[in-house]
Structure 1
Amino acid sequence: MFDKVKELMELKKKADRLKKELEATLIEVNETRGIKLVINGAQIVQSIEIDEGLLAPAHKNRVQMDLLKSFNNGVKKSQQAAANKMRNIPGLNLPGM
């Protein structure tokens, strides 16, 4: 019984360490014209940079679509980074990861 509690405590330590690593992992997405997005491994957007030339009213729809695409690509990449880090934790066998 105590061995199981000890194992659970160790897994919690590993999960906490992983969470900190993910928060420190920065993923930069610059796939669209003039928009740069930085998201961390915990999927929190850290920054968005938009080229000044894109801010004209005539470019509004394009900027919105490009920003949406950048954000979604950033989330996908941060999920992949999280899954890769979780694979490296011994004893943390999560299906589908």
Structure 2
Amino acid sequence: MLDNLGNVMDLVKKVQEAQQNLQNEEISSSSGDVMTVVVNGQQDIVSIEINPNYLSPENKLLLQDLLCATLNQAITKSRDLNQSAINKLTNDLNLPHIPGLF
């Protein structure tokens, strides 16, 4: 029974390390030269840069649409990175595949 507790503690430690690593990972997505969005591996927005050449009332709708699309693209990349880290962790731990668990 104590062996199982040690395995659980190892799992918890590895999950915490993976979460910390994901928080430090930065994923960038851009819409040409208009804007760049950076998120971390936990889908937190780190930065948004907008080219000042496009900041005008005439470009308002374009910027709003591009911001949504660029954010969604960055978050999707971050989710993929997160899922890859979880898959690596579960493979390293040799856990059985249980659909929906990770």
Q: What is the TM-score when the length of structure 2 is the normalising length?
A: 0.86
1:16 alignment partner AA: Q
> In the aligned structure 1, how far is the partner of 2:35 from the partner of 2:16?
32
Provide the alpha-carbon RMSD of the alignment: 1.6
In the other structure, the counterpart of 2:71 is 71
CA distance in 2, matches of 1:52, 1:33: 10
Deviation of 1:88 (Å): 1.4
**1:30-41 superposed matches below 5 A:** 30-41=30-41
Query: How many residues of Structure 1 are paired with residues of Structure 2 in the alignment?
Result: 97
Question: Equivalent residues in 2 for 1:23-62 (5 A)?
Answer: 23-62=23-62
Q: TM-score, normalised by structure 1?
A: 0.90
Percent of aligned positions that are identical:
28
- Which portions of structure 1, spanning 4 or more consecutive aligned residues, are displaced by more than 4 angstroms? none
Long gaps (5+) in structure 1: none
C-alpha deviation, 1:94, in angstroms: 5.8
Taking the aligned partners of 2:22 and 2:98, their CA distance within structure 1 comes to 17
The residue that corresponds to 1:8 in the other structure is: 8
Q: Is the 8 A contact 1:37 1:49 kept in 2?
A: yes
1:95 match: 99
Unaligned runs of 5+ in 2: none
Give 1:33 shift.
4.5
1:32–1:70 contact (8 Å) kept in structure 2: no
